[in-house]
Amino acid sequence: MAVREWLRDRRLAAAIVVVALLAGATQLLLWWIGPAPKANPFVGPPRSGYTLTDFKLVQYGTDGLPSFLIDAPRLERREGDESLYINAPDFRLPSNQAAVPDWLGRSLYGWVNRDGTLLKLQGPVHMERAAFDDTPRTTLDTSEVTAWPKQNRLETAAPAQLVQGGTRIHGVGMRADLNDKHLELLDDVHATFPPRQRAR
């Protein structure tokens, strides 16, 4: 009876002790059956934002060959964002094929994702490739291009014009694979081809 009377007289103190014991038991149970803490995937110090002026950037593919090169007056990497923002880039998409010249180009702005697998060229985009073998000099003028440098592919939904020697092709929307020299214009396509010379 003495314990019952003691608890009755000290209800608040008894309640505090019971709640503390339950909280401790609950925490122990949670540690025991709860999931293991997640490993922190972060390695090294955080990358800070930075700005580069008059820079050259070269990215290499898994084969060890350059996948694209950029030369521009300004590059900015913003705090907390791992992509790159580029002003007025001059770029080169290497052919990595003997005797086939690289594609050279320029645009108003550029954006590269954190892995370097996606390149967006914003504003007017001009690209050109020098003549080689029996292929004349080629120019491509369009805007708002999305490129995958490691695959040497690009596409746009904007109007595009290709000029190769006397051949002139323009349309709206374009997909191109620069490795196999495949170009696809998607809509409102118009083309002018020079007459072929007759064999004598």
pLDDT at 47: 59
pLDDT at 46: 57
The CA distance from 114 to 122, in Å, is 18
The angle formed by the CA atoms of residues 120, 122 and 128, to the nearest 5 degrees, is: 85
Question: Phi and psi (nearest 5°) for 7?
Answer: -65, -40
Contact 112, 89 (CB under 8 A): no
pLDDT at 157: 94
Nearest alpha carbon to residue 56 among 30, 81, 75, 84: 75
pLDDT at 119: 87
pLDDT at 28: 84
pLDDT at 139: 92
pLDDT at 95: 77
pLDDT at 184: 87
What does the chain come to in residues?
200
The CA distance from 147 to 163, in Å, is 20
Q: What is the pLDDT along the chain (200 residues), one digit of tens a residue?
A: 576 776 667 777 777 888 888 888 888 888 888 777 777 666 655 556 888 899 898 878 777 877 778 899 998 887 777 788 999 999 888 877 788 888 899 999 999 888 778 889 999 999 998 988 888 899 999 999 998 877 878 899 999 999 988 899 999 999 988 777 788 888 998 888 888 766 55
pLDDT at 48: 65
Element (H or E) spanning 64, and its range?
none
Contact 84, 64 (CB under 8 A): no
The angle formed by the CA atoms of residues 117, 63 and 108, to the nearest 5 degrees, is: 35
Task: Supply the DSSP symbol for 80.
Answer: T
Contact 68, 110 (CB under 8 A): no
Contact 91, 78 (CB under 8 A): no
Task: Supply the DSSP symbol for 200.
Answer: -
